[in-house]
Chain A
Amino acid sequence: MRKGVMRPGHVQIRVLDIEEALEHYRDLMGLIEVETDSQGRVYLKGWTEVDKFSVVLREADAPGMDFMAFKVLNNQILEQLEGELIEYGCDVEKIPAGELSGCGRRIRFVAPTGHSFELFAEKEQTGRYGIGNHNPEAWPRDLKGMKAQRFDHCLLYGDDLDGTYKLFHEVLGFDICEQVVDPDGNRLAQFLSVSMKAHDVAFIKHPEKNKFHHASFFLETWEDVLRAGDLISMTDTSIDIGPTRHGITHGQTIYFFDPSGNRNEVFCGGDAFYPDHAPITWDADKLGKAIFYHDRQLNERFLTALT
Chain B
Amino acid sequence: MSITKNSQPADPAPLKRFRVWVANRQQSFTVTSDQSLLAAMEQSGAQAIDVGCRCGGCGRCRIQVLHGQYESKRMSRAHVSEHDEAQGLVLACRILARSDLVIESDQFQDPRQATVEPNNNNEECKQ
A, B in one complex: yes
- In the complex the two chains form, is A305's CB within 8 Å of B77's CB? no
> In the complex, are the beta carbons of A206 and B111 less than 8 A apart?
yes
**In the bound complex, do residue B125 and residue A167 qualify as a contact, i.e. CB atoms below 8 Å apart?**
yes
Contacts of B108 in A (CB 8 A): 304
Cα separation A89 to B50 with both chains bound (whole Å): 42
Q: Is the CB of B125 within 8 A of A85?
A: yes
CB closest chain-B residue, reference A170: B127
Q: Which of A91, A207, A238, A300 contacts B55 (CB 8 A)?
A: A238
- B contacts with A, residue count (CB < 8 A): 30
Which residues of A (231-250) have their CB < 8 Å from a CB of B? 238, 240
Compute how far the CA of A166 lies from the CA of B127 in the bound complex, rounded to whole angstroms: 10
Q: Are A88 and B125 in contact, CB atoms less than 8 angstroms apart?
A: yes
Assess the B56–A16 pair: CB atoms within 8 A.
Answer: yes
- Chain A, interface SS category: loop
Q: Is the CB of B116 within 8 A of A112?
A: no
CB of B121 within 8 A of chain A?
yes
Which of A124-132, A176-184, A257-265 lies on the face that meets chain B? Answer: A257-265
Contact A17 B74 (CB under 8 A): yes
**Chain A proximity of B94: nearest CB distance (Å):** 9
Given A17-B74, A62-B76, also A261-B56 (CB < 8 A):
yes
| Given A109-B125, A304-B110: A209 touches B54 (CB 8 Å cut-off) | no
Residues of the A chain whose Cβ atoms lie less than 8 Å from the Cβ of B111: 206-208
The answer, yes or no, to whether B11 is at the interface (CB within 8 Å) is no
Closest residue of chain A to B79 (Cβ to Cβ) is A62
Interface string of B64-84 (1 = CB under 8 A from A): 000000000011111100000
**Could you tell me which residues of chain A, from 271 to 307, have a CB within 8 Å of some CB in chain B?**
300-301, 303-307
Complex formed: what's the CA distance from A63 to B8 in Å? 20
Contact partner, B124, options A62, A111, A262, Cβ 8 Å: A111
CB atoms of B76 and A307 under 8 A apart = yes
Number of A residues contacting the other chain (C-beta, 8 Å)? Answer: 40
Q: Are B50 and A260 in contact (CB under 8 A)?
A: no
Closest to A90 in B: B125
Is B53 interfacial (CB-CB < 8 Å)?
Answer: yes
Q: Is the CB of B60 within 8 A of A304?
A: yes
Which residues from A are CB-within-8-Å of B75? 16
Q: Are B54 and A238 interface neighbours, CB within 8 A? A: yes
> Contacting A301 at CB < 8 Å: which of B60, B114, B122, B123?
B60
Q: For B55, what are the chain A residues with a Cβ–Cβ distance below 8 Å? A: 238, 257-261
For B110, the chain A residues whose CB sits under 8 A away are: 304
5 closest A-B pairs by CB: A261-B57, A261-B53, A90-B125, A305-B52, A261-B55
| Contact sample, A vs B, 26 pairs, CB 8 Å cutoff | A61-B74, A62-B76, A62-B79, A89-B127, A90-B125, A91-B122, A91-B125, A111-B125, A112-B124, A112-B126, A114-B124, A163-B126, A207-B112, A207-B116, A238-B54, A260-B57, A261-B54, A261-B55, A261-B58, A300-B50, A304-B52, A304-B110, A305-B52, A305-B58, A305-B60, A307-B53
